[in-house]
Copies of this chain bind each other. A is one copy, B any other.
Amino acid sequence: MRRIKCTIAYDGTHFAGYQIQQQKRTVQGELERALSIIHKGQFVRVYASGRTDATVHAYGQVIHFDTPLMIPDERWPKALNALLPDDVIVKEASEVPSSFHARFSVKKKEYRYRVWIGEKNVFLRHYVYHHPYDVSVPAMNEALRYLIGTHDFTSFCSAKTEVDDKVRTIYEAEVVQEGEELIFRLVGNGFLYNMVRIIVGTVLEVGRGERCAEEIKTILEQKNRSVAGKTAPGHGLYLWHVSYDN
């Protein structure tokens, strides 16, 4: 068996999320369906770097699967894209050692979150969070700096999570304004359930002047989801890049 790693992108708008669910349209479901056709009906399990929720997009999700087929690396994207719907695309594929695992070998993940502060725009409705308020970009960057480092992120994690260890390391956290768009960028060794969306929701409250930037510190210390801000909607979120060793 050979192990194939693929970088994929998807528009999350019409998916019930990445992970397979009965009777629902999922990215994993589409990938496994396409692979089963290529494997003449044999089921092939796909493993991803992590799940994404309904409406959340991916620019650089990473998956792997095992196959007995001798298809050259550069042919995999063509073969899969011919069978995938037009809202998922395999950008590249390469054979990797069997020690590689899309989820367990992750070193860093980058998420981006797009916020639109201009007038409502029909073309962006599925791709940015429309938040037409005056916000202070410097105050938001000050707030984000409190998140950099290794912390217990219990306050920035959905209470629905099943994970026990809530300690994660954030390497980079910033927001830049490009015209009428704010782009949040977060790089870390891992992210808890809803973590980026709760961070963005809370930092936007700082941006609007409803909280001061230093509150982020107290919120982290309290380890209590209810002291942080609202969860920003899924459709502004992008799993941007996943890094591995090599």
Contact = CB atoms under 8 A, between A and B. Distances in A.
Interface of A: 9-11, 57, 81, 86-89, 91, 119-123, 125, 127
A123 to B, nearest CB: 6
A79 to B, nearest CB: 15
B120 A89 contact: yes
A89 B122 contact: yes
Nearest to A125: B86
A118 to B, nearest CB: 12
Q: Which of A86, A87, A123 has the most CB of B within 10 A?
A: A123
Nearest to A9: B122
A91 B119 CA distance: 9
A123 B127 contact: yes
Contacts of A91: 119
A76 to B, nearest CB: 15
16 contacts: A9-B121, A9-B122, A9-B123, A10-B122, A11-B122, A11-B123, A11-B125, A81-B120, A86-B122, A86-B125, A87-B122, A87-B125, A88-B122, A89-B120, A89-B122, A91-B119
Nearest to A127: B123
Contact of A123 (B57, B81, B122): B57
Leading 7 A-B pairs by shortest Cβ distance: A11-B122, A9-B122, A89-B122, A86-B125, A87-B122, A11-B123, A89-B120
Given A9-B122, A86-B125, A88-B122, 13 more contacts: A9-B121, A10-B122, A11-B123, A11-B125, A57-B123, A81-B120, A86-B122, A87-B122, A87-B125, A89-B120, A89-B122, A91-B119, A123-B127
Contacts of A81: 120
Contacts of A11: 122-123, 125
A161 B9 CA distance: 40
Nearest to A85: B122
A123 B128 CA distance: 12
A123 B122 CA distance: 14
A89 B122 CA distance: 7
